[in-house]
Amino acid sequence: MTFVLAHLSDPHIGPLPKPRVRDLVGKRLTGYLNWQRRDKIHDMDVLSRLVDDMQAHRPDHVMMTGDVMNIGLPAEFPAAARWLRTLGEPHGVSFVPGNHDAYVRSSLQHLIQTFAPWTSSDGEHETSWPYLRVRGEVALIGLTSGVPTGPFLASGRLGKDQRDRFAALLDETRARGLMRVVMIHHPPYRLGATPGRGLSDVRAFEKLIARHGAELVVHGHNHRTQVFHLPAAGTTVPVVGVASASAVPGTPRHRAAYHLYRITAKGKGKWSIDGHVRGLLPGTREIGDLGPVPFKV
Ligand SMILES: [Fe+2]
């Protein structure tokens, strides 16, 4: 049986609700000024076409790896939740937050409450990190790397507690014979991001994967399709980044796209993963096939 997984990220939903003056202090002020530029990059009509195309493929599960919002204004949270509902029932949609969703310290409480339907483990109603959702033979593990940072920084962090629970989940789900798919916003390898934009405990993550393994890791943040392979006990784990789901300008790898994976069990804890990039066809506003996810063979 084939399980179809869709992965999209970084839609940066707009337009921004009008901020109150008192909301525009510190990091939000620089972020608001930055948004004037960003607003022209992210096209909500293209995003809606992309989601329609994804739904037409009837994915068994949708993974959304963060930056659904922009500067963490209180009014952005309900808008983000409304948009997440357009992807499907929360049972079929998993979300992990990005740096723009955990923008300032006051965002964290909103984040935990607003996104609980998409960030809770099976049988629970509250956000937990990491969370585990099992669908068929697939274990979806969601991590949060979204932490508030100072102005001009976009880094992330997992923290030791979350990493320890993550390691235990990887072992538990492997023992159950499940295919382990890990979702995280920041690219979780050392070369994955420029200084100030990366995961601060990235070395610990790499070591953890080397020891406990995983079958697939997906991330956002860089707004482009990119594949890296992390070593793990005699094999490698594909780590795949996706373009922003709403970006219109830029090079072909940066323009609006999502990834569609077809996963087939091969027995004895092995799976085949067929990945395809679907997004803006060159020179058009149509969504179509842009070729396979470039896994190393
Ligand atoms: Fe990001």
Give φ, ψ of 136 to 5 degrees: 60, -125
Ligand 1: centre distance to CA 276 (Å): 22
This prediction has a pTM of 0.95
- Does any domain span residue 231? yes
Ligand 1: centre distance to CA 219 (Å): 10
- Does any domain span residue 65? yes
Length of the chain: 297
Task: Give the three-state DSSP class for 264.
Answer: strand
- Does any domain span residue 139? yes
Task: Give the three-state DSSP class for 65.
Answer: coil
Annotate 100-167 with three-state secondary structure.
CCCCCCCHHHHHHHHCHHHCECCCCCCECCCEEEEECCEEEEECCCECCCCCCCCCECCCHHHHHHHH
Ligand 1: centre distance to CA 175 (Å): 33
Ligand 1: centre distance to CA 146 (Å): 8
- Does any domain span residue 206? yes
Q: pLDDT per residue over 124-138, tens digit each? A: 999 999 999 999 999
pLDDT on residue 26? 76
Annotate the chain with three-state secondary structure.
CEEEEEEECCCCCCCCCCCCHHHCCCHHHHHHHHHHHHCCCECHHHHHHHHHHHHHCCCCEEEECCCCCCCCCCCHHHHHHHHHHCCCCHHHEEECCCCCCCCCCCHHHHHHHHCHHHCECCCCCCECCCEEEEECCEEEEECCCECCCCCCCCCECCCHHHHHHHHHHHHHHHHCCCEEEEECCCCCCHHHCCCCCCECCHHHHHHHHHHHCCCEEEECCCCCCEEEEEEECCEEEEEEECCCCCECCCCHHHCCEEEEEEEEEEECCEEEEEEEEEEECCCCCCEEEEEECCCCC
Could you give the number of structural domains in the chain? 1
Stretch (H or E) spanning 237 = strand 235-241
Q: pLDDT per residue over 46-101, tens digit each? A: 999 999 999 999 999 999 999 999 988 888 999 999 999 999 999 999 999 999 99
Instruction: Calculate mean pLDDT across residues 260-289.
Output: 93
Ligand 1: centre distance to CA 101 (Å): 9
Ligand 1: centre distance to CA 168 (Å): 27
Percent of the chain with pLDDT over 70: 99
For residue 297, pLDDT over 70 is answered with no
Domain containing 146: what range? 2-292
Q: pLDDT per residue over 178-235, tens digit each? A: 999 999 999 999 999 998 999 999 999 999 999 999 999 999 999 999 999 999 988 9
3-state class percentages of the chain: helix first, strand second, coil last, to nearest 5: 30, 30, 45
- Does any domain span residue 128? yes
Task: Give the three-state DSSP class for 91.
Answer: helix
For residue 22, pLDDT over 80 is answered with no
- Does any domain span residue 198? yes
Ligand 1: centre distance to CA 259 (Å): 18
How would you label 231-242 residue by residue, b for 16+ Cβ within 10 Å and e otherwise?
ebeeeebbbbbb
Give the span between the Cα atoms of 96 and 274, in whole angstroms.
23
pLDDT confidence band for 34 (50 / 70 / 90): confident
Task: Give the three-state DSSP class for 202.
Answer: helix
Would you state the torsion angle of the CA atoms of residues 18, 23, 25, 28, taken in this order, to the nearest 10 degrees?
-60
Domain containing residue 35: CATH number? 3.60.21.10
- Does any domain span residue 138? yes
Q: pLDDT per residue over 1-19, tens digit each? A: 899 999 999 999 988 777 7
- Does any domain span residue 297? no
Ligand 1: centre distance to CA 265 (Å): 32
